[in-house]
């Protein structure tokens, strides 16, 4: 997985993209980078990283069953970075039998203890 392209779709090698974050060597400096790294964590089945990057107020109990989906690619539609709140709209594509479907979400991120964390989906673009 080392110098293959990162699953999040930036085109960078995994080691120089989300690999830095999933390994704990660095922490994403923007909500979009955090969102991309969380997608990669879903692809790679990294539950500890998903827990660590979820706001404690909204974090569900996560189990291995949450990782059954076969994700195929990520498409970031738009993002709006704020000082304490950021929003990212994306489509995460996954395999559904012989076809591909997308999870479409507008996600809210907040700065928590100086780190971006995922909070919850929003019903519309703010």
Residues of this chain that interact with Zn ion (CB under 5 A) are 6, 8, 17-18, 36
Instruction: Rank residues 36 and 38 by Cβ distance to Zn ion and give the closer one.
Output: 36
Instruction: Rank residues 76 and 111 by Cβ distance to Zn ion and give the closer one.
Output: 76
CB of 56 to Zn ion, least distance (A): 24
Instruction: Rank residues 6 and 87 by Cβ distance to Zn ion and give the closer one.
Output: 6
CB of 54 to Zn ion, least distance (A): 18
CB of 20 to Zn ion, least distance (A): 9
CB 108 within 8 A of CB 122: yes
d(CA 118, CA 1): 25
In order of 62, 71, 102, the CA distances from 58 in angstroms are 12, 23, 23
CA quadruple 115, 45, 63, 97: dihedral sign: positive
d(CA 25, CA 82): 24
CB 72 within 8 A of CB 100: yes
Instruction: Rank residues 10 and 81 by Cβ distance to Zn ion and give the closer one.
Output: 10
CB of 100 to Zn ion, least distance (A): 20
């Amino acid at each position: 997985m080392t110098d293959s392209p990162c699953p999040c779709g930036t085109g960078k090698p995994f080691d120089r993209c989300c690999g830095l974050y999933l390994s704990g060597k660095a922490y994403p400096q923007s909500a979009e980078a955090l969102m991309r790294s969380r997608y990669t964590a879903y692809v790679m089945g990294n539950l500890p990283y998903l827990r660590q990057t979820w706001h404690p107020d909204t974090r569900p109990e996560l189990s291995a069953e949450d990782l059954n989906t076969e994700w195929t690619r990520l498409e970031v539609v738009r993002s709006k970075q704020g000082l304490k709140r950021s929003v990212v709209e994306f489509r995460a594509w996954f395999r559904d039998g012989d076809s591909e479907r997308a999870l479409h979400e507008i996600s809210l991120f907040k700065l928590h203890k100086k780190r971006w964390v995922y909070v919850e989906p929003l019903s519309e673009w703010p």
